Chains A and B, each alone.
Chain A
Amino acid sequence: MSNNMRLTLKIWRQGGKYKGEFVTYKLDNVNEHMSFLEMLDVLNEQLIANREEPVAFEHDCREGICGTCSLVIDGRAHGPMKGTTTCQLHMRHYKDGETIVIEPFRAKAFPVIRDLVVDRSSFDRIIQSGGYVNVNTGQAQDANAIPIEKDQAGEAFDAAACIGCGACVAACPNASAMLFTSAKVSHLALLPQGMVERKKRVLEMVAQMDKEGFGKCSNVTACEAECPKEISVGNIARLNREYIAASLASETTN
């Protein structure tokens, strides 16, 4: 086990004594089996030992399912590996002596709170505006009570894999939240349980997305390339279709 990787980190610091600037740190005891976040833990221990303010970054599950970790690493949301969250990125993908630039997600709708932590509550408000289904209360229904065609269920499941991390926004030159919103709309629009609010949902989620100040999709597809769950831009086409149909063809007049 090699415990001697040396790295130079250029990390965005913002808040406290930092006005919003890159600060360079050296680490000389990085283990290749560490995850990227464990590497940052080591840095923070070193900073605390030196009585310096540790770097603020977000994490929770550390197993790629919660969507809390973020970071733009050398210009790429969640780092260089395809279909991988930052917490699942391992230091074996880096070489001894490398310099790594670490920045927060940048978008007007994701303001920086401190260092590498951004406020992603705009995503919560998009979900609140329509990302739900109404169900009858009482005993839970049998899981297979409503038959769903297998491919359809599979496609809904692929969309449901979105962990709401915001990497799509971070990667998009327009800071558009279309991949996220389209995943949420698709997941419910493909299932019979989502039919009740189908039109209302897409109208309100897009309205909220616009209100939050996210950009307008230019179909660049950088989102799909960086998404840790490899959500397809086919969902964006579905969102467009659902929205155009709901706007122009629904009986809703306001």
Chain B
Amino acid sequence: MLISAQDSVSLRTKCSRNITKKPTHHFMSWFTKFLVSSIGQKFIMSLTGIFLMLFLIVHLLGNLQLLNDDGGDAFNAYTYFMTHNPLIKTISYLLYATILLHAWQGIALWQQNKASRGASRYAVNHVRSNERASRNMAWLGIVIFIFILLHMWQFWFQMKFGTLPAVEVTAYDHPVKDLFTPVAAAFSNMFYVLFYVVSMVVIAFHLWHGFWSSFQTLGLNHKKYTPLIKIVGVAYAVLIPAAFAVIPLVFYFTRA
């Protein structure tokens, strides 16, 4: 066994006693130390980001019900399910917390990093084209956050607390809230559709970098799989926001 001179002295003086030091700190000590460390803070970003990316897939599957030309039958059944299933309701609270944590931690990192760069800035900056998304994650995130707030106000709040009329759907033997009508109305508004599509482009940029980055942050890189992760990341970043954006465009151009 290799021991340093310093350690060997202390070992010698202690050898009649227990060599292993008694833990002097409890759970919160090492755990909070990890969470506030640079890598720990990024760990939080990565895990919350991955959770949000998984959520986007589920959310998209729901939204795609809007494309059924059934006057909202499938979509309204879906929204009823999502707001009444206890498991989904629990997960949705976790989701709200995750969004807040991701946004809070992201802004905190942004501010800390600005401080690390210092007060004096370079006169000349060289930005490679592949760095445009990664250098602007916080700005992209802030736009996404504004989108989420507006989106929640417009649809989530209406669903939870608004006075939506009830309609019959084939999936249930009782009437459910008709969220389809306000959604269809919003999607016939040019400004809303434009805002929606622009927001999806912003999410695409956020995830163009974020998908791969979240793996890198967790230390999940591998000569064999990292190239694949990067390809899947780009595909995800383009296809998921594009699929979201198609829905209001279809409504605006074919149903209005």
Contact = CB atoms under 8 A, between A and B. Distances in A.
**A and B bind:** yes
Interface of A: 10, 12, 20, 22, 72, 74-76, 101, 103, 106-109, 112, 133-136, 173-176, 178, 196, 206-207, 209-210, 213-222, 225, 233-234, 236-245, 247-248, 252-254
B221 interface: yes
Nearest to A232: B221
Contact of A219 (B23, B38, B116, B216): B216
9 contacts: A72-B122, A173-B117, A174-B116, A175-B117, A216-B42, A218-B109, A219-B134, A244-B219, A253-B23
A18 B40 CA distance: 41
A107 B2 contact: no
A215 B29 contact: no
Q: Interface range on chain B: under 10, 10 to 19, 20 to 34, or 35 or more?
A: 35 or more
Given A174-B113, A218-B213, A254-B29, A244 B122 contact: no
B5 to A, nearest CB: 8
Interface stretch (B96-104, B125-133, B144-152, B167-175): B125-133
Contacts of A196: 1-2
A221 B42 contact: no
A214 B112 CA distance: 9
A237 B25 contact: no
A222 B122 CA distance: 15
A207 B116 contact: no
Interface of B: 1-4, 23-26, 29-30, 33-34, 37-43, 109, 112-113, 115-118, 120-126, 128, 130-131, 134-135, 137, 209, 212-213, 216-221, 223, 226
A218 B136 CA distance: 10
Contacts, number: 154
A101 B216 contact: no
B117 A215 contact: yes
B112 A240 contact: no
Contact of B219 (A107, A175, A238, A254): A238
Given A74-B124, A206-B37, A254-B23, 4 more contacts: A10-B123, A173-B117, A214-B116, A253-B25
A219 B213 contact: yes
A241 B43 CA distance: 10
Contacts of B122: 72, 75, 103, 106
Nearest to A248: B34
Q: What is the predominant secondary structure among interface residues of chain A facing chain B?
A: mixed
B219 A220 contact: no
Contacts of A218: 109, 113, 134-135, 137, 213
A196 B4 CA distance: 10
Nearest to B39: A243
Contacts of B220: 237, 241
A76 B126 contact: yes
A135 B1 CA distance: 10
A136 B116 contact: no
Contact of A135 (B2, B42, B113, B121): B2
B47 to A, nearest CB: 11
Contact of B39 (A108, A134, A206, A253): A206
Contacts of B125: 75
Contacts of B3: 134
A216 B29 contact: no
B34 A217 contact: no
B22 to A, nearest CB: 10
A103 B121 CA distance: 10
A220 B109 CA distance: 14
Contacts of A135: 2
B130 A221 contact: yes
B28 to A, nearest CB: 11
Contacts of A112: 120
A210 B38 contact: yes
A240 B135 CA distance: 20
Given A176-B116, A237-B219, A237-B220, A216 B38 contact: yes
Contacts of B1: 196
B216 A220 contact: no
